[in-house]
Amino acid sequence: MKFNKAKCKVLYLGWGNPQHPYRLEDEGIESSPVEKDLGILVDEKLDMSHQCALAAQKTNRILGCIKSNDVASRSRKVILPLYSALVTPHLEYSVQPQCPQYKTWSC
């Protein structure tokens, strides 16, 4: 299996990191301010705001589809199961990396 050097990136973590240049053989590896690992966006300050913003965008799109005319009935017994099945998992997925023991936005 060949190793693709072009896909390699460096994510410098923490404050005051000297950010030394890294190289693979003769090629330098470029740095990246945000990377996705295991489906979670992590930035250089270990801040999850990118992940939360992405989850909010996704849930807003889903809510827009639920509220649109595509849903045949706007009754409560139709909307609540749709919300529970489609929206809640995205919000829970973004909260758990923040504070997994409490499932809240702030620890």
What DSSP string runs through 26-66?
TEEEEE-SEEEETTEEEETT---HHHHHHHHHHHHHHHHHH
In the chain, where are the structural domains located?
A: 5-95
Residue 107: what pLDDT?
44
pTM listed for this prediction: 0.54
pLDDT in tens, the chain (107 residues): 787 888 888 888 877 778 888 888 888 888 888 888 777 777 777 777 777 788 888 888 888 887 776 666 677 777 788 888 888 877 776 655 555 555 555 54
